[in-house]
Structure 1
């Protein structure tokens, strides 16, 4: 077994640098280096030739093929959008190839685009099949490259429509009982019904490429109900709690194969003592969310947490203090997973802002190393800290899409190497053996 592990890491390392060169030249080289990368991909992911199984949960552990499964992965929310047009579609294949060659196992992306440019849902229950075929392509390509997908179903923010678009549609339809707040999304019966119809349409979609219904496709690692939910009109948390209970139950009546999470940032509610000692500020307990309460719902399989010290803390705060806070934040939630929830805890977004105080790329490396080391230590101790997903990777030629946390894989070899080494450490101990 030791020799097999060494071979994997050797393959992973050489393939990683091929992918780095590949990504640095953008779409043009993407088209011309597919054969080379496909060869590396087949070497590093020979285990995918087996029948693909669903990721499951056993207590605080994700399980795959009978073994604990700890995750190293990333966010590329844009996969479906970029798969719509032929000229941008190679970016999807390119980022999935690069992720595979880095040994990454899960990518988180949007499975929604409500009423915006290249919208999947044009109006309640009416879809653009051209965009649905783009999502089909994303799932099929992910399967081909051995990457599993964490797919989010709606946005709390206005980007890509989000809950605001559902409220706008309801207002246009003259629905009664709507407030001026976008929080109507959580409590208005007609909007709840529209969102349930959307959920059903996604989960029962038959992939036009693979022929597999989404609910039956193990390429999908899990569903996420909503990205970063807030319901500030009800700081008690009752409204959001009721919505999560109803929607999680509905998902599970249609799809019992896949894991499900909420999409929380991880803030503790006002009734939790940790809200005073762990939350980044008093404001964090006023958003209508409650990490323990929301995650403890029976149909929620694992807890989700985000890690953004540059956003949550004073931007002028010293890096050392931010790293100390990251450790406290993560270890607190892992403790919750172990003792309170008895479920895996996944850090589904973590990032470093290039707009923070005197930013240097080395600061990003230090933050990433802090996060990844905590996950690896959790894995060694079989604790609930089950994985982390970087926010976020972009393919070549996407510079106009960058936010303050996103970056191209080619931008800093040390960051690339740090993430890839984490894959190798987890793969040697926490991935199913090669057949």
Structure 2
């Protein structure tokens, strides 16, 4: 699978470069091993947990048999400790040259001692494409990154995991038959069972990192998804609870169990450590030492509605504090953040009015509380149709400047298929970031990433895509898809790939001006920033480079 990929040669060169840094004696000092103490695991009732989880078996309505094997928690705990020891001992960081990963310094990102600003993209389907054996999907992926680099998009965000048992109702075959000329997405899981990682999918992730590196693009790796997305590579958190209880039926359980159950947290840590400590099959470089990684995203859009605590975001913040401390111990080279929607609560009451509605106070998400955590390096927020656009972004600029003192990234934004309104949204983001740079030399306005790029022959079932390679325009969703959905039973409509799997993308209206801003910015010895901006660098988005053109895709 890997030999056929065009980026193998570039990946080998990348590995040689990384190993050359190590040979030059630029290794990072090993961190204090006391940052993680395995002794606490002995305090957990590991054997009792294992005894409670017998093998279980369920038959789904369409006849698929699902099995949950027993879990040996003691073995997983031992593997976790071995993984941490492997990270902390030996030539730790031997491939990581000083200043070669992007770091947060105050309210700015810095790379090679220079400010780093970026325009970026989300590509939720990237792991599925990378781990496929499909030449068509791999061509799509290569086109996506090549066009992203040409447009000056410097950072991409992808899911670095897919969890749980493959559950595929037969009605989904109907979607494949709607466009028989297109390659169906492979149904894969990186972690099909606790502590079990699929090597073929890991090789796809290796390839994704190498491909990004060959185009000079850095990647945010998202490690879980709060949403119970149903489809080819689900990254949701619910499999962790399903594994623990031995059933797909989560009746009686809530998201609070994900954040507080020690069994779930053990499984999650096990996955974090083994992903971070993964040595690429293409380069031999461990992920924790690879400067291609921009940051680790602990979980996408987490919530904890009505969860108990001293503050509305206390449960989520406590979990993020615990997991970010662990991950920074295993990998101190890279930044860590939470891919939150960015809501404000009573911890910063002056910004509550910027929320999209009063319901946001009950989401269990606190932007300020999360960003203030010691091992969280920057704040993130997402922006969609219901937001008060400019006020929402400005509130995060202000909170990041006045309260958190850390960079801010607008990590997701988009509007459903509507050429005029989508153009307006992109221009609004452009204007708001540009104004922030002009008004404040140390603005935390560090980067913006539109939701989900695509390229190649794709179908946009629900209208979120933006094509990076041009292509024909088409409305969304198709009339045939609507009729098919109407014929489904209600429970299948609820989990329909039509509206839950398909989270697609945005277009090349998003141009490379963050890059232009960074490359024309210097930092004086006193730390102030001197600007030399070309005219093009003042335009974050340049509509009409190839024209706003859309095409359907099932992502």
TM-score, normalized by the shorter chain, greater than 0.5: yes
Q: Which residue of 2 aligns with 1:426?
A: 517
Shift of 1:171: 0.9
Q: Which has the higher helix share?
A: 1
Q: Is the 8 A contact 1:83 1:138 kept in 2?
A: yes
Counterpart of 1:342 in structure 2 is 405
Whole-angstrom distance in 1 between the partners of 2:402 and 2:200: 46
Distance 1:62 1:424, change over 3 A: closer
- Determine which structure has greater relative contact order: mean sequence separation of CA pairs < 8 Å that are 6+ residues apart, divided by chain length: 1
Question: Could you tell me whether the CA contact under 8 Å between 1:376 and 1:426 is conserved in 2?
Answer: no
Deviation digits for residues 310-366 of structure 1 (CA, Å, limit 9, x no counterpart): 1x25xxxxxxxxxxx211111110111111000000011011122xxxx4x021111
Matches within 5 A, 1:21-420: 53-87=100-134, 88-115=137-164, 116=166, 117-159=187-229, 160-172=234-246, 179-234=252-307, 236-274=312-350, 276-308=352-384, 310=385, 312=386, 325-354=388-417, 359=418, 361-380=419-438, 381-400=441-460, 402-409=461-468, 410=470, 418-420=509-511
Report deviation, 1:295.
1.2
Question: Residues of 2 paired with 1:179 and 1:270: CA distance?
Answer: 30
Shift in Å, 1:426 = 2.4
> Post-superposition shift, 1:239?
1.4
Question: Structure 1 residue 286: deviation in Å?
Answer: 0.4
Any unmatched runs of 5+ in structure 2? Answer: 11-19, 22-96, 167-186, 474-505, 524-531, 533-555
Q: Is the 8 A contact 1:264 1:305 kept in 2?
A: yes
**Unpaired runs of 5+ in structure 1?**
1-30, 39-48, 314-324
**SS at 1:397 equivalent:** coil
> Closer, same or farther in 2 for the Cα pair 1:103/1:275, shift >3 Å?
closer
Offset at 1:302?
0.3
CA 1:417–1:140 in 2, change beyond 3 Å: closer, same or farther? closer
- Give the superposition deviation at 1:169: 0.9
SS in 1 for 2:447: strand
TM-score, structure 1 normalization: 0.78
Give yes or no for contact 2:115–2:518 (8 Å, CA) kept in 1: no
1:86 offset after TM fit, Å? 2.6
Count of residues in Structure 1 that have an aligned counterpart in Structure 2: 367
Distance of 1:179 and 1:187 partners within structure 2: 15
Query: Any idea what SS the aligned residue of 1:162 has?
Result: coil
For the pair shown, which has the larger CA radius of gyration, 1 or 2?
A: 2
How far residue 373 of structure 1 moved from its aligned partner, in angstroms, is 2.4
TM-score, scaled relative to structure 2? 0.62
DSSP-derived class of the 1:367 partner: helix
Shift of residue 393, structure 1, vs aligned partner: 1.1
CA displacement at 1:427 relative to structure 2:
4.9
1:138-174 Cα distance to aligned partner (Å, 9 max, x none)? 0011111100000110010112141111111111089
Aligned-partner Cα distance in 2 for 1:421–1:69: 13
Q: Is the 8 A contact 1:378 1:386 kept in 2?
A: no
Q: 1:161 to 1:74 in 2, by over 3 A?
A: closer
Counterpart residue number, 1:21: none
Instruction: String of CA shifts for 1:67-102, please: whole Å, max 9, x gaps.
Output: 111111111011111111231222221111111111
Deviation at 1:428, TM superposition (A): 4.6
Compared CA separation, residues 416 and 241, structure 1 to 2 (3 A)? closer
Question: Residue 242 of structure 1 aligns to a residue in which SS?
Answer: helix
**Take 1:91 and 1:206, find their aligned partners in 2: how far apart are those partners?**
26
SS of residue paired to 1:306: strand
**CA contact under 8 A between 2:159 and 2:235: conserved in structure 1?**
no
SS at match of 1:399: coil
The Cα of 1:405 is off from its aligned counterpart by 2.1
Q: How much is the aligned-residue C-alpha RMSD, in angstroms?
A: 2.8
Is the Cα–Cα contact under 8 Å of residues 307 and 347 in structure 1 kept in the other structure?
yes
